[in-house]
C-alpha cells in the first residue's frame, strides 16, 4: 500500500482530526512548509496516547496537545544538536592536536611506518599490516588526494605530499582519527588516555560513542530522546558525581556528559553551553526532561552545575551566585 501525497492544508486537517490544537494556522502552515510533516512526526510521537495493555501509541494525541508544544520541542532539539556539534568540534580539534603531538614524539611519520604501530595496526606475529591499517591508509590517501587545503598543497609541492603525523591528523575524519588512536603503539595510547584522565579502553569506547553522536548532529537527526549506546564512565566517576547517572543510561544525557567531561578535562571552555540548553527544556507532563535520560538532580552534578563551572573558570564571578546559564 502506497502513501498518498497530502497538501499542506490536508496535513493540517489530519493533525486536527487526531486531536492537535492549532492556535495559529499560519504558524502551522509555515512549520509544515519549512520542517515537513514527516520530520515533525518524530517530535509529535511522544504526545500520542499510549495504550498500556498493547504497549503501543495510537494515532490520536493526548488531550490538550498544542502544535506549539511540538514546535517548542523541535526548536529545543535543534538548539541541543547545534550546541553539541559546536562542543564536539572543539573536542575534535583538541584530540587531533593531542594525538598528533603524542604520536609525533614517537616518530614523525608514524602513520606511514606500519612496523612501529601497535597490534591493531601491525601483526608482528605474522609480520604484516592488519586489514584495519590497510583500510585506514587507503582512506587516508584518498583524503590526501582530494584535499584542497592550502597547507596540503604546500606539502605536496615542497615535500612530495608526505605529511608528518601532526599535520596528517588535520585531514582525518572523526572515525579515521579514532582508528589511528586504536592502531597506535600501546604506550602512546596510554599516554593520550592519561592526558584525558581516562583508561585506554575508555578512550576507544568514547571515541566511538562520540562519533555516533557527532554524525547525528551533523545530519540533523533527532537527538533529545534517541536511544544510544551506553558509555564507559571514567574511574573517578563517583567523585565527579556522574556514577549511575540515570536509569535511562542509553539516552543522550550520558553522551552529553562525555562532551562535558572532555570539555572540562581538555580545558576547551567554561562548560556552560550544554547546561544552558538543558535548563531551557520545554518540559510538559507528557514529555519531561527525563525523556533525555537527564536525572532530576542534574544541576547539582559537578560537571553540570553552572555555579561550579563558573567559579572554576571565572574567579571574578560575582559572589552573589547570579548565573545566566541555569
| Coil, strand or helix at 323 | coil
Residue by residue, DSSP assigns 44-63 as HGGGEEEETTTTEEEEEEPT
**Is 113 domain-assigned?**
yes
The 10s digit of each residue's pLDDT in 236-274 is: 666 655 665 555 568 999 999 999 999 999 999 999 999
Q: Same domain for 165 and 191?
A: yes
CB atoms within 10 A of CB 284: 17
The 10s digit of each residue's pLDDT in 40-77 is: 999 999 999 998 888 889 999 999 999 999 999 999 99
**Average of per-residue pLDDT values in the chain:** 89
- Take residue 58 and report the three cell numbers written for it: 495510537
- Take residue 154 and report the three cell numbers written for it: 604546500
**Which has the minimum average pLDDT: 125-134, 175-184, 302-311?**
302-311
Q: Same domain for 95 and 151?
A: yes
Q: Same domain for 186 and 293?
A: yes
- Take residue 145 and report the three cell numbers written for it: 588526494
**Is 68 domain-assigned?**
no
**Is 69 domain-assigned?**
no
* Number of structural domains the chain divides into: 2
Q: Same domain for 103 and 197?
A: yes
Q: Same domain for 155 and 277?
A: yes
Q: Same domain for 51 and 194?
A: no
From CA 46, how far away is CA 303, in angstroms rounded?
Answer: 29
Give residue 14's domain range: 8-63
| pLDDT of res. 302 | 85
Q: Same domain for 207 and 286?
A: yes
Q: Same domain for 173 and 55?
A: no
Amino acid at each position: 500500500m502506497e502513501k498518498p501525497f497530502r497538501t499542506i492544508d490536508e496535513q493540517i486537517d489530519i493533525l486536527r482530526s487526531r486531536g492537535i490544537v492549532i492556535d495559529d494556522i499560519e504558524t502551522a502552515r509555515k512549520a509544515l512548509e519549512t520542517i515537513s510533516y514527516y520530520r515533525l512526526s518524530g517530535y509529535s510521537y511522544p504526545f500520542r496516547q499510549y495504550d498500556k495493555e498493547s504497549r503501543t501509541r495510537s494515532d490520536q494525541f493526548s488531550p490538550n496537545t498544542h502544535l506549539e508544544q511540538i514546535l517548542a520541542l523541535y526548536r529545543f532539539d535543534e538548539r541541543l544538536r547545534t550546541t553539541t556539534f559546536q562542543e564536539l568540534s572543539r573536542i575534535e580539534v583538541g584530540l587531533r592536536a593531542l594525538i598528533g603531538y603524542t604520536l609525533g614524539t614517537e616518530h614523525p611519520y608514524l602513520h606511514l611506518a606500519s612496523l612501529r604501530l601497535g597490534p591493531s595496526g601491525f601483526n608482528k606475529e605474522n609480520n604484516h599490516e592488519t586489514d584495519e591499517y590497510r583500510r585506514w591508509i587507503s582512506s587516508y590517501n584518498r583524503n590526501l588526494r582530494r584535499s584542497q587545503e592550502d597547507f596540503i598543497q604546500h606539502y605536496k609541492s615542497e615535500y612530495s605530499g608526505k605529511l608528518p603525523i601532526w599535520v596528517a591528523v588535520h585531514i582525518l575524519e572523526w572515525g579515521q582519527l579514532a582508528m589511528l588512536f586504536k592502531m597506535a603503539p600501546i604506550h602512546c595510547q596510554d599516554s593520550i588516555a592519561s592526558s584525558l584522565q581516562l583508561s585506554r579502553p575508555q578512550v576507544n569506547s568514547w571515541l566511538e560513542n562520540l562519533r555516533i553522536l557527532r554524525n547525528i548532529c551533523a545530519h540533523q537527526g533527532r537527538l533529545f530522546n534517541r536511544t544510544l549506546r551506553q558509555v564507559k564512565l571514567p574511574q573517578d566517576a563517583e567523585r565527579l558525581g556522574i556514577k549511575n547517572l540515570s536509569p535511562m543510561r542509553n539516552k543522550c544525557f550520558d553522551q552529553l556528559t562525555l562532551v562535558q567531561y572532555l570539555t572540562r578535562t581538555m580545558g576547551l571552555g567554561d562548560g556552560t553551553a550544554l547546561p544552558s540548553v538543558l535548563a531551557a527544556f520545554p518540559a510538559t507532563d507528557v514529555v519531561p526532561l527525563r525523556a533525555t535520560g537527564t536525572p532530576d538532580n542534574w544541576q547539582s552534578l559537578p560537571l553540570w552545575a553552572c555555579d561550579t563551572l563558573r567559579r572554576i573558570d571565572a574567579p571574578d564571578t560575582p559572589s552573589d551566585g547570579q548565573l545566566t546559564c541555569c
